[in-house]
Amino acid sequence: MEKTVTEAIHYRRSVRIFDAEISLDKNIIKHCIENATLAPTSSNLQLWEFYHVTSSDKLTKLTEACLGQNAAKYAKNMVVVVVRKDLWRKRAEANVSFLKNAYGEKPVSEYSKREKFALNYYKKLIPTIYTDFLGILGCFKFLMFQVIGLFKPIYRQVRKSDIRIVGHKSAALAAENFMISMASNGYDTCPMEGFDSLKVKKILNLPSSAEINMVIGCGVRSENGIYGKRFRVPFKEVYYEV
């Protein structure tokens, strides 16, 4: 029986050593990745990809790229979460097609104000935010938006570095969905940030424009797979009601 959300959250730990005798059901992992794609994502652009690594050859190579850490070395499978900011045009077009289909493929003149706004969001605003050239346009847009912000609230994260952060935030939300889904099925994970990103991209044959968000080791925890008790700072130090 799958765990409840709260049970899965409490069960999830970063497991470094997985039981070598227990294999994983690839279909369950695939289902958990499907759950990952249901995570909230900025502007619904879904600028992510998920690589489910099962071949022993690639697992060995990824372990080396992950600096030989135990969470990679003992993993039965790995899932690599990839940010594809470069696909923003394709994903924006997909949203436009979805909206037009939802609106019934009617003439533009029959669109409501709200429907026109949604289409223009992907046709005009998204290109304004995501179009850049060597970071120069981003700096210009940043200055322009700061000036506008003197008179009214406005979105300010328009530089190349800002857009990268947006993409990684969305990918991280998806990764958490995946790990909680794995925990609900009694499977364990360990998200890794310690890796050689160039080597990981080469192993997966990714373009230079792709960015590795995290590599997640997957398996079932061994008795010594968790290195210690969970530590969190007191809740009162991080919770503020305003």
In CATH, the architecture of 1-40+47-83+132-221 is 3-Layer(aba) Sandwich (3.40)
b/e code 5-26 from CB counts within 10 Å (16+ = b): eeebeebbbbbbbbbeeeebee
Q: Give me the pLDDT at residue 73, please.
A: 97
Give alpha helix (H) positions in 185-229: 197-203
pLDDT for residue 7 = 97
Give dist(CA 177, CA 40) in Å, integer.
10
| pLDDT by residue, tens only, the chain of 242 residues | 789 999 999 999 999 999 999 999 999 999 999 999 999 999 999 999 999 999 999 999 999 999 999 999 999 999 999 999 999 999 999 999 999 999 997 888 899 999 999 999 999 989 988 988 777 777 877 887 788 888 888 888 778 888 899 999 999 999 999 999 999 999 999 999 999 999 999 999 999 999 999 999 999 999 999 999 999 999 999 999 99
Sorted by sequence, the CB contacts under 8 Å of residue 223 that are 6+ apart come out as none
pTM: 0.92
Distance between CA atoms of residues 152 and 18, nearest Å: 53
Does residue 209 contact residue 47 with C-beta atoms inside 8 Å? no
> What pLDDT is recorded for position 166?
95
pLDDT of residue 179: 98
Q: Residue 83: helix, strand or coil by DSSP?
A: strand
Residue 234 confidence (pLDDT): 97
| CB 84 within 8 Å of CB 48 | yes
Residue 107 is predicted with a pLDDT of 86
Percent helix, strand, coil in the chain, to 5, is 50, 10, 35
Structure tokens at 150: 């003197």
**pLDDT for 148:** 85
Q: Looking at residue 170, what is its pLDDT?
A: 98
Pairing of strands 211-219, 188-192: antiparallel
> What does the pLDDT read at residue 60?
98
Q: Is-contact 195 225, C-beta < 8 A?
A: no
3 state SS of 52: strand
